[in-house]
Each structure stands twice: as C-alpha cells, then as structure tokens.
Structure 1
Amino acid sequence: MSSIEGRHPDRNLINMPMKQNLVKEKHDASLHLISRDFETCIDVCQKALHVLSSTVDLQQASDHQEEMEEFIVIIVQAYAELDRWQEVLPCITQHYSGIENVSPNVLKVCLLLHAKVQEFSTCSALYNIWTSSREGREVNDSDLEMLLDIYVTQTLLQAGKSSQITEVVQSSQLSQDTKERLIATYSELVRETQLAEETASTTALPDLAHPQNIVDRVVAKGLRALRMMLMWIWSVRPRLSTRTLYSLGGLATLLIIATQGFDTSNRTLEILGNLMEHFIRSKR
C-alpha cells in the first residue's frame, strides 16, 4: 500500500483501469489538438473531466489534481483556437466548483487567455478572487510570484494601470524582501515601457510634422511640374534652343537654393539631374 493510501484509507488513488483510460484519453485529446480537430478534443476532455470531478472519493488524491490540470490546459487551448474563450470559465468553474479552488497552473492559463483577448477586468477579478481565497493558507511562494508576475506584466501594464502595481505587490503574501525586489523590477519595467511608448509616438509622427519635410515635398512637386512643362514646350517647339532649357533649369536651381539653401536633399538633386539629362539627350 502506498504512503498516500496509508494516510487516507477511505480514499483510493485513481485505480489502474481508470488511470489507463485517462492516459489514453489524454493522448487522444492531444492528438486531436495537434491535428486541429478542436471539437473532438473538447468532447474527449469534457468526458474525462466529468469522470474526475464526479468521483467524490478522488478529490484529495494527488494524481487526481494533476489529471484535472492536464485536461483543463488542453481544453483551454482548444477553446482558444476556436475563438470560444467565453466558454472557458464556465467549464472550469463547473469542474472546480469555483475559481478559488483551481490550481495555480489553471489560474495561469486563465489569466494568459483573458489577457490575450484584452479582457483585463476579468483578469483582475480572477486574480483577486483566487488570492483572497488563499489568505491564511499555505501557498508556494514560487506559484504566488509566478501569478503576480503574469498579472502585473500581462494585465496591469497592458491595461495602462501601472500606478496599481506597487499596491498589488504589497498586498501579496510574499515576503517583504521579495516585495521590495519586485517593486524595484517593475518600476524599472514601467520606465522602460514609457520610454519606448514615447519614442514610438515621436517616430510615428507624419513627415509633414517637420518644416523641412514640407519644403522637400513642395520642391519635388515643383520640379515634376517643371519637367512636364519642359516636355510640353519641347513637343510644341522642337527647335527651342538649349540655352532656353538651361535657363529654365537654372531657374529651378535658384528655386531650390531659395527655399532650402545650398544643403539640398539628394532626392531633389536627383530629380533636377534627371530632368536636364533627359532634355540634353533629346536635343541631340
């Protein structure tokens, strides 16, 4: 008899036939998920979860919780692929009798899913319900820190609620040293995020926001118009002297210098050069 059976003689671990059946169903569900047969995957998981959640004498068995977790993770992925994320919480609460009873790994999946679809208020509700239910109860610090990190980085920061981070960290059940370390880490992360946003907003400004860019565009349009005019004159007066063409080109050059100074853009010079080269070749 195993040590767990010895401590709980009235509760058995999952018996071998059931265990083998669950292993097979988990394997089948994973294959359906990989092959993108999501509906069948959900059906297989639902049946297995129903067996696990309805077997009262298995509720405290250690391998019972592990089996529940694995099927929940698979079924959540299937719902997400079908864009039926609204069905995830009803499914979980049905088998766990409330979000406060789920394991840290199951809550992790829920937080990540709802953050991905930007249901930040739901993430906050899930995290607060679960952490409140853990007050006065022993919880692994690594699990607490993992969930806190997901909530801060995927919910509070993404929702623009960085001002709440310190309060959330301080209200956790982590040690004071850990809280101070996390607050320092998140403060730096907030600064980096704000700097990145400011940089992105600056570089995202349209070209016309800079006066010199306005001049560049006006001059370029003017040169294109001049080229069209010269082409028209050449078609009407094919014997027009090269001197006249150079005079018009010089006029365009003066226009560039007057509006931009001698530090003209490469694009503008290229347009002017192509313009004169075209008519010199045409004259020949």
Structure 2
Amino acid sequence: MRAEPPAWAPGPAQAAALLEEAADLLVLHRDFAAAVERCEAGCDSLGAGPGPGHESFAEVKCSLCVVGIQALAEMNRWREVLSWVLQYYHVPEHLPPKVLELCILLYSKVREPQVMLEAGSSWLRAQANQRLPELGSLLELYLAEVLLPLGLFEGAEELVRGCAGLDSEQQLALLGTVRESRRRWAQREETRSPAEEQQEPATETLLGVLSQKLLTMLTLLRRALRSMSNHFYLLPYKKMLLATFLLYLVVVRLDPASPTSLPFIYKLVQLFRQAWAAVLSPVHRPPIRD
C-alpha cells in the first residue's frame, strides 16, 4: 500500500491542494485571513522556480496570487497587494498578465492609480513581454486606468510608441485614444475654472451662514446662563458649552475625516473660542464652587 505524501510536501501538487482550500475559504466560508495564509503557503511550497516537467507551476502560482489579491481586498488591505505579489515574483516584469490586470483594476477602483505607475510601465516596456498576446489589452487598460486619469499624456504617447509588440494599427488606435483624452481633459479644465471661481464665494457664504448660526446659538446660551447665574452657582458652564458645540457639529453632519471639512472645522473652533471667551469673561463669570 502506497504511503500518502506529507500534508505540506513542496511542489505544484501540494500548491494546487492549497489553492483549492484557499478558494473554498474565500468563496464559501468568507475566511479571508485563512485564505491568504493558504495562498502564502502554496507560493512558498513552490520554491524559487519551476523544475523540469512542472508545466503547471506558473499557472498554479498565478491562481494562488489571484485568490490572495481578492482576499486582501476583501479585508481592506489593498495597500499591501502590490508588495505582496512582488515578494513571489520579485520584479514587476515577471508578473503574470492576469495578476497585473487585477492590480491595475484594484488600485484604480480605490482611486490610487499612481501606485501602479512604475510597475505597469516596467512590465509593458520589458522585452520579454512584447511577445505576449495580452500586451495590447494590458496597455489599453494601463492607459485608461492609470496614465490618462492622471493626465500623463506625453508619457502615454511615449509608452505606446515604445511597445514593439504592437502593430501599426494598434499604435494608431491607442495614440488616437490618448489625443482624444487630452482634448477632453483640456475642455474640462477650461469649463471647470469658472465654475470653481463661482463655487468658492458660494462656499464662503455657506460657511458664513453656518458660522453666524453657531455664534447666535452661543450668544443665546450666554444670556440664558447669565439670567440663571444668581440661582444656579453650581451650573457646569464648560460642560454645557462643550455639549452645545458637539451637538452643533452633529447637526450639521460634519465628517472630520474629510479633507474638505477641515477649513470649516477650523472656523468653528475659532468662533467657539471667541464665544467661550465672551461667555466666561471675568465680568460675567459667576462664582463656581467645587
């Protein structure tokens, strides 16, 4: 009776078994961390490179990386994806077309296409990749999702002309796409500038209205506190003012994580400090007992 191989025996066969486990964990069990662990174990079991007769080596390794990318994305660890795959392929030029495609799409979706600038350019310029049938589609994807959204039109034209694997018809079509994108970009810039100039006063007006509301609210609160100060010496002024301020922030639904909200928050803080100084000035401050 033949003995079964060890559960973690290296090679494509064990890597294929780990690939199946990782796919099940990803799709059926939604255990993304465990799926990544299986993918890493599978890639490690393949060693440094395929040996003679291991024709399925590259396919299994690519599939493990595809599952790993999806699992990392599900865990919102997309920032790790490029470095994660490069630890198994070492340089961008060696990435399989499918892995490169997934990386481009992922970083484009999260609006970080610049992450793929160097990796994508290195892959598309590599001489060994000029013979691959996926070259044209990957170049088109790289242009559409990375270079053109970033406004890098000169670099896009240079890259298209430098790809020896493209025929003249493909080059002309891609260069036409770059020129059309440049034209639309210029039109957008021309029409956006006046709109932005009109938006800034409108934004200032809105901020002024909201700031005035806050100041009015605190002024009314100050009057109410002054009228009660003779009867309620133990009233926690600072706590009430702070609660009012926080309530106002909730009412206007500010998102402190949003960069666009920062100037508004700074204005509110300044107004709050001014109102605080007015309310708690020595003239109107009632005696507070511990």
Comparing both structures, which one devotes a greater share of its residues to helix? 1
Paired residues in the alignment total 192
Alpha-carbon displacement from aligned partner over 1:56-111 (angstroms, at most 9, x marks no partner): 427x7332212111221121122223232332233212212322211111112222
C-alpha separation in 2, matches of 1:188 and 1:138: 25
Go from structure 1 to structure 2 and tell me whether the alpha carbon gap of 1:53 and 1:158 turns closer, same or farther (over 3 Å shift).
farther
Go from structure 1 to structure 2 and tell me whether the alpha carbon gap of 1:208 and 1:103 turns closer, same or farther (over 3 Å shift).
closer
Q: Structure 1: give runs of 5+ residues left out of the alignment.
A: 1-12, 210-284
> Which of 28, 42, 61 is 1:48 aligned to?
42
Please report the TM-score for the alignment, with normalisation by the length of structure 2: 0.55
C-alpha separation in 2, matches of 1:111 and 1:56: 26
Query: Residue 186 of structure 1: SS of its match in structure 2?
Result: helix
C-alpha separation in 2, matches of 1:208 and 1:158: 25
Aligned-pair CA distance for 1:119: 3.9
Please report the TM-score for the alignment, with normalisation by the length of structure 1: 0.56
C-alpha separation in 1, matches of 2:200 and 2:35: 54
Q: Structure 2: give runs of 5+ residues left out of the alignment.
A: 1-10, 202-290
Aligned-pair CA distance for 1:181: 1.7
Aligned-pair CA distance for 1:164: 2.7
Go from structure 1 to structure 2 and tell me whether the alpha carbon gap of 1:149 and 1:199 turns closer, same or farther (over 3 Å shift).
same
1:230-241 equivalences in 2 (<5 Å):
none
C-alpha separation in 1, matches of 2:16 and 2:68: 20
CA RMSD of aligned residues (A): 3.3
> Which of 169, 174, 186 is 1:177 aligned to?
169
Asked if the contact 1:45/1:72 (under 8 Å) is kept, the reply is: yes
Alpha-carbon displacement from aligned partner over 1:14-70 (angstroms, at most 9, x marks no partner): 45xx376245324323326x73x3212211221122222456427x73322121112
Corresponding residue for 2:61? 68
Corresponding residue for 1:25? 21
Asked if the contact 1:14/1:61 (under 8 Å) is kept, the reply is: yes
Go from structure 1 to structure 2 and tell me whether the alpha carbon gap of 1:207 and 1:168 turns closer, same or farther (over 3 Å shift).
closer
> Which deviates further from its counterpart, 64-73 or 194-203?
194-203
C-alpha separation in 2, matches of 1:100 and 1:203: 43
Asked if the contact 1:41/1:78 (under 8 Å) is kept, the reply is: yes
